């Protein structure tokens, strides 16, 4: 790149002239390079400005969650049923660990767990940025916490964080009422913005019922952090957590505990409620489970073990399972017959231990027979023959209508989720659901609480409450203040009074003698429900355990001013008079004895 030298002679000026030309050319190159650089800055600072602004904010700001403590659950007199307890969690900052394998082995040694378990726990946080500490183990014991604290100089990667864990003080005793917690599903996370990672939600019982209010609202701190995640200066924004609302239940812890212990080695349910307004004082289902097991993170095997445990402990037998009511249904029969004028209380029927209806022989539970019985006597001794015959007279439509009116065969309206309806059959049901006409002989079975009839213990309690409170339908409720005024059933007061008097007699002199107590005057009705229809008469004790009769006893006390309805149901327990009535007596004695004592 030289100019042509016209003379060909050497001159400094000529050399300089050539050099100047080449220098100007270089300046052009420099200019282009600078333009490229300026262009790059323009691209990043003007065109992509917002993109980088967002990235800078992401770098700088970190959102820290402020946990809202879950609300507590109390019994009716303010005794704590469910609370929160501090728990220690082990976090690991993988960025601080020189050798992750060695760190895990060290932690496994202190925790007394397999290193491979911890590795699996760590694996779940694979996607989390390296400098963010992740959860390694929960529910450390204080001694373990101390050992991690002491080893801090050699193992700075471990951090102990405190958290809260749900504590069910009376574990098995209140399990079905208060329920338990579980991890929300991805779908629930999507649906509910208030749920953050690591939250647990109510899965059953009051925990589920009042989940949103028990949870409260998480707060949030937006803080400035430097490149190593250290907090810098003051919060950019802070919204304090709103603690969850506490709940007071209508449950009487003392009654609940006693009821649970009475069912300890049996399957069954006990319901106690106040017939005046429907407040549930005790609701026990057995076998029970320990909701504390669900308060932490639960492995799939543990979950399966609980769900598939013998006796299906997660089921609430008081409301979710339905059974034939057996002779407690005779209360409905008496009310229906009297209210419709189809039953003359003075009419006597002869019972010789069996009767013939619709070309079939129908047995009374009492093989010897009861002789002549009127309505009062039939209730007192639970005479089947009497009700077989009167049932035919009353007819299935009337029986079904009254059964439903008194609260059977439909949800009681208790707040707990998952309540079953049960079944009160009639001819319409038979036609629509079964697809064949009602067979009149079935009415005979229904008359003594058998046949397709299915009721839950809570429904039986509602029915009994209607007799106790003089003819009002109550809606059972568990959350204090959640009650509704009972609904009048439009029944003649004399009808109710007659039945009430008869029920008092059952306990005083009849099949319910097992519930008789000097502490308080009790009224009640026994029930012994057959599990499988039997052609021949077999003593219940001789049946295999899973086919043995269900034992019922429904009762209330005191007779003249009822305050408490108690229903005892023992699955495959045998006779109601022997397996259920004595349990009710213990409960009533304790309840009214304690009340009298104070």
Partner 1 sequence: MLPREPDRWHLLRRVRSVTWLLAGSALALSVIGLVVISSASADMNTDYEVRQSAWIVLGLLVMTAAAAVDYTFLLRYAFWIYLAAVAVLAAVTFFGHEAGGARSWIGIGGFGGQPSDFCKIATVLLLARHMAEAQAPVAPRDWLWAASAFVVAPVLLIALQPDMGGALMFVPMLAAMAIVAGLRLRSALIALGVAAMVAGAIWVFALQDYQKDRVSSFFRPGADPLGSGYQVRQSRIAIGSGQMLGKGYGEGTQSNLQFLPTPHTDFVFAVLGEEYGFMGVTVVLGLLLLYLGNGVRAALAARDPAGMLLVVGLLAFIAGHVLYNTAMVVGLLPITGIPLPFLSYGGSFMLFCCAATGLMIRVDVQRFVNI
Write out the residues near partner 1 by the rule CB under 8 A: 1-2, 10, 12, 15-16, 18-20, 22-23, 25-27, 30, 33-34, 36-38, 40-42, 44-46, 48-49, 51-53, 55-56, 59-60, 130, 224-228, 232
As measured in angstroms, the least distance from the Cβ of 267 to partner 1 is: 59
Cβ atoms of 446 and 533 within 8 Å: the answer is no
Distance in angstroms (rounded) separating the CA atoms of residues 271 and 566: 6
SS3 211: helix
Element (H, E) at 493: helix 493-509
For residue 222, what are the β-bridge partners? 63, 237
Which of residues 157 and 374 has its CB atom nearest to partner 1 in the complex? 157
Do 577 and 512 meet the contact criterion of CB atoms below 8 Å apart? yes
Q: Which is nearer to partner 1, 92 or 468 (CB)?
A: 92
Q: Which is nearer to partner 1, 31 or 198 (CB)?
A: 31
- 327 a catalytic residue: yes
Pairing of strands 73-74, 247-248: parallel
**Total length of the chain:** 598
Cα–Cα distances (Å) from 398 to 320, 337, 408, 443, 472, in that order, read 26, 8, 14, 11, 19
User: Smallest distance from the beta carbon of 6 to partner 1, in angstroms?
Assistant: 16
CA distance 517 to 591: 12
Residue 594: C-alpha distances to residues 127, 304, 597 (Å): 59, 41, 5
Q: Residue 73: which region, alpha, beta or left (left: phi > 0; alpha: psi -120 to 50)?
A: beta
Q: To the nearest whole angstrom, how small is the minimum distance from the Cβ of residue 104 to partner 1?
A: 21
DSSP characters over 111-168: HTS-HHHHHHHHHTTTTS-TTS-EEEEEEE-HHHHHHHHHTTTT-TTEEEEEEEEEEE
Q: Could you give the CA distance from residue 385 to residue 142 in angstroms, rounded to a whole number?
A: 68
Owner of token pair 């604290």: 149
CA 144 to CA 150: how far, in whole Å? 10
Q: Which of 97, 103, 285, 327 is catalytic?
A: 327
d(CA 259, CA 252): 11
For partner 1, the closer of residues 36 and 596 by Cβ is: 36
Considering the complex, state which of residue 53 and residue 344 has its C-beta at the smaller distance from partner 1.
53
Check: CB of residue 220 under 8 Å from CB of residue 66. yes
Residue 278: CB partners within 8 Å, gap ≥ 6? 462, 465, 474, 475, 476, 477, 483, 484, 486
Inter-axis angle of helices 330-339 and 396-405, nearest 10 = 110
- Spatial CB neighbours of 154, under 8 Å, sequence gap ≥ 6: none
Burial class (CB within 10 angstroms; exposed 0-12, middle 13-18, buried 19+) of 242: middle
List the catalytic residues.
327
């Amino acid at each position: 790149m030289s100019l042509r030298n016209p003379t060909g002679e050497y001159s400094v000026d000529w050399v300089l002239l050539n050099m100047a030309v080449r220098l100007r050319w270089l300046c052009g190159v420099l200019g282009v390079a600078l333009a490229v650089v300026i262009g790059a800055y323009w691209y990043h600072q003007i065109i992509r400005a917002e993109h980088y602004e967002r990235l800078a904010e992401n770098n700088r700001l970190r959102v820290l969650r402020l946990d809202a403590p879950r609300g507590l659950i109390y019994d009716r007199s303010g005794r704590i049923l469910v609370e929160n307890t501090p728990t220690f969690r082990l976090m690991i900052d993988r960025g601080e660990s020189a050798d992750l394998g060695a760190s895990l082995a060290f932690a496994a040694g202190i925790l007394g767990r397999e290193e491979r378990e911890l590795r699996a726990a760590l694996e779940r946080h694979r996607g989390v940025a390296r400098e963010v500490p992740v959860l390694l183990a929960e529910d450390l014991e204080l001694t373990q916490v101390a050992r991690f604290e002491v080893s801090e100089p050699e193992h700075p990667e471990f951090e102990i964080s405190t958290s809260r864990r749900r504590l069910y003080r009376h574990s098995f005793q209140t399990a079905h009422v208060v329920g338990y917690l579980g991890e929300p599903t991805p779908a629930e996370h999507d649906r509910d913005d208030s749920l953050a990672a690591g939250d647990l939600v109510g899965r059953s019982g009051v925990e589920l019922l009042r989940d949103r209010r028990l949870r409260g609202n998480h707060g949030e701190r937006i803080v400035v952090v430097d490149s190593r995640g250290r907090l810098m200066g003051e919060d950019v924004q802070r919204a304090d957590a709103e603690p969850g609302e506490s709940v007071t239940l209508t449950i009487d812890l003392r009654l609940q505990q006693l009821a649970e212990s009475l069912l300890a080695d049996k399957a069954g349910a006990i319901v106690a409620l106040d017939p005046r307004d429907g407040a549930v004082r005790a609701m026990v289902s057995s076998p029970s489970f320990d909701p504390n097991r669900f308060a932490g993170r639960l492995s799939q095997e543990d979950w399966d073990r609980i769900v598939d445990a013998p006796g299906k402990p997660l089921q609430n037998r008081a409301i979710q399972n339905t059974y034939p009511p057996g002779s407690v249904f005779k209360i409905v029969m008496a009310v229906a017959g009297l209210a419709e004028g189809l039953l003359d209380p003075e009419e006597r029927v002869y019972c010789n231990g069996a009767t013939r209806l619709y070309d079939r022989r129908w047995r009374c539970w009492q093989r010897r027979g009861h002789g002549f019985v009127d309505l009062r006597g039939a209730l007192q001794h639970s005479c089947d023959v009497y009700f077989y015959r009167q049932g035919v007279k009353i007819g299935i439509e009337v029986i079904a209508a009254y059964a439903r009116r008194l609260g059977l065969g439909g949800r009681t309206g208790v707040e707990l989720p998952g309540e079953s309806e049960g079944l009160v059959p009639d001819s319409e049901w038979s036609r629509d659901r079964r697809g064949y006409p009602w067979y009149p002989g079935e009415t005979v079975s229904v008359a003594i609480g058998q046949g397709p009839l299915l009721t839950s213990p809570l429904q039986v309690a509602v029915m009994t409450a209607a007799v106790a409170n003089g003819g009002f339908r109550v809606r059972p409720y568990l959350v204090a203040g959640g009650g509704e005024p009972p609904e009048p059933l439009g029944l003649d007061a004399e009808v109710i009074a007659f039945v009430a008097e008869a029920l008092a007699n059952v306990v005083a002199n009849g099949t319910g003698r097992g519930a008789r107590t000097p502490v308080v005057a009790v009224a009640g009705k026994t029930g012994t429900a057959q599990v499988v229809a039997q052609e021949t008469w077999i003593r219940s004790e001789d049946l295999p355990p899973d086919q043995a009769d269900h034992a019922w006893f429904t009762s209330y006390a005191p007779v003249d001013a009822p305050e408490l309805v108690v229903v005892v149901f023992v699955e495959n327990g045998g006779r109601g008079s022997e397996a259920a009535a004595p349990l009710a007596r213990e409960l009533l004695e304790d309840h009214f004895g304690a009340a009298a004592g104070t």
